Structure 1
Amino acid sequence: MSAGVDEAGYRILLIEDDPGDALLVEELLRDTALRFDLTIRTTLAEARVELAKDTIDCILLDLHLPDVSGTTAVGMVRDLTPHTAVIVLTGTAEAQAAAEAMAAGAQDYLVKGRVESELLYRTVRYAVYRSRTERAVVETQAARLRAQENARLERGLLPRPLLDTSTVTVTSRYLPGADRALLGGDFLDVVESDDKLLHAIVGDVSGHGADAAALGVCLRIAWRSLVLGGHRGGDLLNLMERILIAERGDQPLFATCTLLTLDETAATATLHLAGHHEPLLTTDEGTHEVTAAHGIALGIIPGEHRWPATVVPLPPRGALTLYTDGLTEGHNGADTTRLGVDGLLALIKNLPSTPPDIHVDLLIEQTHALNAGRHTDDLAVLRLDWDTRLHRI
């Protein structure tokens, strides 16, 4: 046991209905070298209330309480607080009961009438040490499983762009909003189809956590498969909505997304907005928000099928940036208002001229600095850069 634990003291809960035995345990504790804070309760019902309002390091448990006894008592205590050390108190003729209590989850046992202060000192210290070691092992295993799940979700949410002949430079970033959470519901992807068109999507499933992330992965994979299968525009969004409805089950989840089809030969980009905001277009003159028709989010009104197309002419050199609202919904510095698109454009205007990946990183860094942790949301950014003056198409 570390010195720090001893200095802080042990919070001990004694569950014992015999006043004489309770007094004896308290006196023995005072004879030890332990720093402790002792709480005494006479029934498991009273102990349940105490465990709900305070953190306990060690429970000394009599096996014969008015409301529960034997290994049942041990099991119920372990259910209430699975990572707290439990030491059972038994009678001199209860060797079998002590063994069964240990099998039920108690760290150790003490025989009433045969306990000395030194034995009590060692038993409490080692029982707490073992319980905390067990907890550390459980937390480590949970962290490992969480990391593995994150890796699986990340592979689904952040695939490698599928490009063949395209000369467009793709830059993508993803950041989950909640601390230590699984990846959220934002997703993105880029593929080049057989007709040499470049297709991109950025989307956002409502909510956070594993359910939103799983649905995001499902939609992203469905989008890639449908695009490569030749589906486009409203037909593609209709199929994605049908998949969303089937996969969300009873959960009231919906999704927004921006579809983009970039035709390098025609120098155009075709946009379909499903409840999502417009992308940003960067040219030699600066960056502005593209004007595009809006459609309804997927899953809000199934069967509405309202996703108009907008064709945007592209300059010989430029960039399109698609993003989720985690980039704009944070606070604008000391101001209580949100950053918004206008604030985002102001930030971009003041950024130095850098390569696309550095530019995106700087933009995210500055929005986070202004927000200062006051608003957390998942964030996905996808930037597509082209220069036909360097690459003859």
Structure 2
Amino acid sequence: MTAPLGAVPGDPAGEPPYRILLIEDDAGDALLVDELLQDTGLRFELVTRTTLAEARPDLGAGAVDCVLLDLHLPDVSGIDAVTAVRALAPHTAVIVLTGLSEAQAGADAMAAGAQDYLVKGKVEADLLDRTVRYAVYRSQTERANAQAQATRLRAEENARLERGLLPQPMLGTSTVRVTTRYLPGAAMALLGGDFLDVVEGDDGLLHAVVGDVSGHGPDAAALGVCLRIAWRSLILGGHRGQDLLHLMERILLAERGSHPLFATCTLLTLDQHAGTATLHLAGHHEPLLTTGEGTREAAAAHGIALGIAPDLRSWPSTVIPLPASGALTLYTDGLTEGHSGTAGRRLGVDGLLTLIDQLPPTDPAAHVDRLIKETHALNAGRHSDDLAVLRLDWNQGV
């Protein structure tokens, strides 16, 4: 039985009605509850069910604000009734209806998760009004607190992953300015497998990596953290070039287990004194080189992604000359795989370079932020890949 909306003079027009589910097998008691609700100051929609089995679809749909629950139903009774309702609708207020002789039943029901209890035959309209309002308020507060706690725990988990994916650059005497940005692909999602790092070696050279593990979620993120830490350890241990990539691939194969994950990455070694950058591309695209004449791709030989063909070990090196002042930007494909805003076309590298040419000159950090903002605006939320950007700026005259 569904009762019409309780019309109460003076109710705020914008106040939504309380959606109340009465689970009561006694027709007389059900009618009394309906009449009492009509006399309250509540706007309400009342649905009545005679058994827990009948009420299951209503509880499972999540469209109930408050349950008025008789403790003696044909299919369940006592505390078991409260436990069953709470299991089906854990964030819904439950008010137990007890008999005059059940003094302890109400307290036991509240200990089992009910927000309050009412004694049949001793309920007035104003008491029912207050009880429903407060029970729903407490239930909503509990739900908000639970959601806040879940959000906090997820944020802490993301922060731990982010510390692994986005470490502090290890710089010594280098005057190169380092700008890094990382954005997960989806809101509230675990960080993806993109990773980056910058380390100045004992030889005075600046070493950088940007990589992307295939897939999303915790497995990709964990492998990304593992490869980033492995890269830093191997760099500090003196490994370079193809030897370094071979060892990273061995680690990837051991750590991915049965998951068919692979990784692309760009290795870069910047020698400020020689004015050169050495690149190794493992299935990754070229970085962008910015000079006084503009921004372009730094042409480099391509090698295979890590984990695709472990026996091949093909990662040729490319040495490119650098101007006295300029910048190199390494990035993952989250920056280019979104839509360009024109007929569903992907932005791509050409679109990215066009966008960079249109941006006003500014400092490196603001430039990277503006670039990310513009690509997201063009994409209009239609693509949700993870994104990592690492920009290195130098000026020999400084």
Work out whether the TM-score is over 0.5.
Answer: yes
Partner amino acid, structure 1, of 2:38 = R
Instruction: Evaluate the alpha carbon distance shift between residue 5 and residue 224 of structure 1 in structure 2; reply closer, same or farther with a 3 A threshold.
Output: farther
Q: Are 1:312 and 2:320 counterparts? A: yes
Q: Which of 233, 239, 256 matches 1:225?
A: 233
Q: Distance in 2 between matches of 1:381 and 1:103?
A: 53
Q: State the partner residue of 2:300.
A: 292
Q: Distance in 2 between matches of 1:237 and 1:362?
A: 33
Query: Secondary structure in 1 aligned to 2:281?
Result: strand
Q: Kindly indicate whether the alpha-carbon contact (under 8 Å) linking 1:87 and 1:107 is maintained by their aligned counterparts in 2.
A: yes
Query: Secondary structure in 2 aligned to 1:7?
Result: coil
Q: Are 1:102 and 2:110 counterparts? A: yes
Number of corresponding residues? 388
Q: State the partner residue of 2:159.
A: 151
Identity of aligned residues (%): 76
Query: Secondary structure in 1 aligned to 2:69?
Result: strand
Unaligned runs of 5+ in 2: 1-10
Deviation at 1:141, TM superposition (A): 2.3
Query: Secondary structure in 2 aligned to 1:72?
Result: helix
Q: Which moved more, 1:233-242 or 1:25-34?
A: 233-242
Q: State the partner residue of 1:36.
A: 44
Q: Distance in 1 between matches of 2:129 and 2:122?
A: 14
Q: Which of 329, 334, 337 matches 1:329?
A: 337
Deviation at 1:93, TM superposition (A): 2.6
Q: Which moved more, 1:34-43 or 1:66-75?
A: 66-75
Instruction: Evaluate the alpha carbon distance shift between residue 67 and residue 300 of structure 1 in structure 2; reply closer, same or farther with a 3 A threshold.
Output: farther
Q: Distance in 1 between matches of 2:350 and 2:113?
A: 60
Deviation at 1:183, TM superposition (A): 3.2
Deviation at 1:5, TM superposition (A): 11
Q: Are 1:11 and 2:11 counterparts? A: no
Q: Distance in 2 between matches of 1:4 and 1:235?
A: 73
Deviation at 1:30, TM superposition (A): 1.3
Query: Secondary structure in 2 aligned to 1:194?
Result: coil
Q: State the partner residue of 1:258.
A: 266
Q: Kindly indicate whether the alpha-carbon contact (under 8 Å) linking 2:59 and 2:85 is maintained by their aligned counterparts in 1.
A: no
Q: State the partner residue of 2:177.
A: 169
Calculate the TM-score normalised by the size of structure 1: 0.90
Q: State the partner residue of 1:363.
A: 371
Deviation at 1:324, TM superposition (A): 0.9
Q: State the partner residue of 1:111.
A: 119
Q: Which moved more, 1:367-376 or 1:298-307?
A: 298-307
Partner amino acid, structure 1, of 2:178 = V
Q: Kindly indicate whether the alpha-carbon contact (under 8 Å) linking 1:280 and 1:321 is maintained by their aligned counterparts in 2.
A: yes
Q: Kindly indicate whether the alpha-carbon contact (under 8 Å) linking 1:6 and 1:35 is maintained by their aligned counterparts in 2.
A: no
Q: Distance in 1 between matches of 2:13 and 2:116?
A: 20
Query: Secondary structure in 1 aligned to 2:15?
Result: helix
Query: Secondary structure in 2 aligned to 1:353?
Result: coil
Q: Kindly indicate whether the alpha-carbon contact (under 8 Å) linking 2:62 and 2:89 is maintained by their aligned counterparts in 1.
A: no
Q: Which moved more, 1:251-260 or 1:223-232?
A: 251-260
Partner amino acid, structure 2, of 1:174 = Y
Instruction: Evaluate the alpha carbon distance shift between residue 367 and residue 4 of structure 1 in structure 2; reply closer, same or farther with a 3 A threshold.
Output: farther
Q: State the partner residue of 1:373.
A: 381
Partner amino acid, structure 1, of 2:56 = R
Q: Distance in 1 between matches of 2:53 and 2:383?
A: 41
Unaligned runs of 5+ in 1: none
Q: State the partner residue of 2:34.
A: 26
Q: State the partner residue of 1:267.
A: 275
Partner amino acid, structure 1, of 2:171 = L
CA offset digits 1:30-56 (Å, max 9, x no partner) = 121110011122332332212233421
Q: Distance in 2 between matches of 1:20 and 1:245?
A: 70
Q: Which moved more, 1:231-240 or 1:163-172?
A: 231-240
Q: Are 1:63 and 2:71 counterparts? A: yes
Partner amino acid, structure 2, of 1:311 = V
Q: Distance in 2 between matches of 1:321 and 1:305?
A: 25
Deviation at 1:200, TM superposition (A): 0.5
Q: Are 1:188 and 2:200 counterparts? A: no
Q: Distance in 2 between matches of 1:260 and 1:185?
A: 19
Q: Kindly indicate whether the alpha-carbon contact (under 8 Å) linking 1:168 and 1:385 is maintained by their aligned counterparts in 2.
A: yes
Query: Secondary structure in 2 aligned to 1:256?
Result: strand
Deviation at 1:373, TM superposition (A): 2.2
Deviation at 1:167, TM superposition (A): 2.4
Query: Secondary structure in 1 aligned to 2:141?
Result: helix
Calculate the TM-score normalised by the size of structure 2: 0.89
